[in-house]
Amino acid sequence: FQPWNDPAAKPLVEFRGVTRRFGAVTAVGDLSLSLYPREFFALLGPSGCGKTTLMRMLAGFERPDAGEILLDGVDITAVPPHLRPVNMMFQSYALFPHLNVADNVAYGLKREGLPRVEIARRVEEMLALVKLEGLGRRRPDQLSGGQRQRVALARALAKKPKLLLLDEPMAALDRKLREATQFELMDLQSELGMTFMVVTHDQDEAMTMADRMAVMDHGKLVQIGPPDVIYEAPANRHVAEFVGDINLFEGRVAAIEGDLVKVETSFAGTIELDEEAPALGVGEPVLVGLRPEKIDLGHDEPIGVANKVAGEIWDIGYLGDFTMIQVMIGGEDGQLLKVALANRTRRIARPFAWEDKVWLSWDIEAGLVLRP
């Protein structure tokens, strides 16, 4: 399932050069993006980067100052929200407190003027879909947070929109419930064959659910791609730092030998990296990015490795699935690195302690070159 790689695939949604300003603030600037049928798309980025504005324009609650929005090839820029086959589920859920669950779910269908029998049937179907059978007569204040979230979802799905927009759909749920709900949402989306666009602050959530995700910054899309590509090959420093943890080394390109790039750094010596067709010049200032889980840690100096540096342990944080260790390299005023060690057995062992002198090493395929 990779329609974005298929030149013949027709997008469901196209943003073409869309801009939205609020006074002096350009919330979204000349942005182009295509979403494909059945795609689960996640929008990620720091607070205020324009995620909600982009989504509200697609729902029709916000008019672009410039550009067009197409749905199935038809320009919908001027179409009012209720005439778009698009629905939006809000972070607050926006349930009607005085209506019971069934009436909340039925609300949009009644406005559409569907026959009563059909509405009742659809409400039952939706409540079954989100596993709330039998709770139709409860009021929202008689439900748990997770159940309220499902009612909002059922209501948003009731009109069977082609496209469902979800703004922070799990913000009100605790962690366990969030994780369970993520998988349910993915199942639901593939079962219904709909396109989902979700805005979230939670990058783990985005990576778990999305076929593709986009990282935004200051009203622009910085990178679009499948989660593993965004994580392993971030386009720039903003993406690398926004998605996951990363160590960054400042340096200069010292040599390029085919695919092998050597970068001279202040605190980690010469770092060797495997960069396919590096578009770099010798002497160019670059950053080397290195994810914490790609570093090996040991007490003895490793032999026959491309990259190694000595350091001292400053901090150890046990996190259950892995342990995050902070190591200072280059002395007191050097650079603090994060190393993530997976806890692969049940043994309670403490191979490393505070102030231990250690060696860090990593493969030539572990690091990546970023422009500063």
Binding string to ligand ATP for residues 213 to 242, with x set by CB under 6 A, is what? ------------------------------
Q: According to the binding rule CB under 6 A, does residue 53 interact with ligand ATP?
A: yes
Q: According to the binding rule CB under 6 A, does residue 255 interact with ligand ATP?
A: no
Q: Which amino acid is present at 222?
A: V
Query: Phi/psi at 168 (nearest 5 deg)?
Result: 45, 60
> Can you give the three-state secondary structure of 140-178, one letter per residue?
HHHCCHHHHHHHHHHHHHHCCCCEEEEECCCCCCCHHHH
Min separation Cβ 26 and ligand ATP, Å: 8
Binding string to ligand ATP for residues 4 to 43, with x set by CB under 6 A, is what? ------------------x--x-x----------------
Q: Any idea what DSSP says for residue 10? A: P
CB burial class (10 A; 0-12, 13-18, 19+) of residue 317? Answer: exposed
Q: Which of 13, 51, 151, 239 binds ligand ATP (CB under 6 A)?
A: 51
Q: Which of 34, 52, 195, 323 binds ligand ATP (CB under 6 A)?
A: 52
From 51-59, 79-87, 238-246, 348-356, span contacting ligand ATP (CB under 6 A) = 51-59
Report the residue number, 17 or 48, with the smaller CB distance to ligand ATP. Answer: 48
Kind of pairing between the strands at 66-71 and 212-217: unpaired
Question: 46-64 in b/e burial notation, b at 16+ Cβ within 10 A?
Answer: eeebbbbbbbbbbbbebeb
Q: According to the binding rule CB under 6 A, does residue 314 interact with ligand ATP?
A: no
- CA nearest neighbour of 353 among 319, 320, 326, 322: 326
What is the total count of residues that contact ligand ATP (CB under 6 A)? 11
- CA nearest neighbour of 130 among 96, 164, 86: 164
Report the residue number, 50 or 367, with the smaller CB distance to ligand ATP. Answer: 50
Non-local (6+) Cβ contacts of 207 within 8 A are: 42, 213, 227, 230, 231, 243
Residues 116-145 that bind ligand ATP (CB under 6 A): none
Q: According to the binding rule CB under 6 A, does residue 45 interact with ligand ATP?
A: yes
Binding string to ligand ATP for residues 165 to 194, with x set by CB under 6 A, is what? ------------------------------
In what helix (H) or strand (E) does residue 2 lie, and over which residues does it extend? none
Which residues contact ligand ATP by CB under 6 A? 22, 25, 27, 45, 47-53
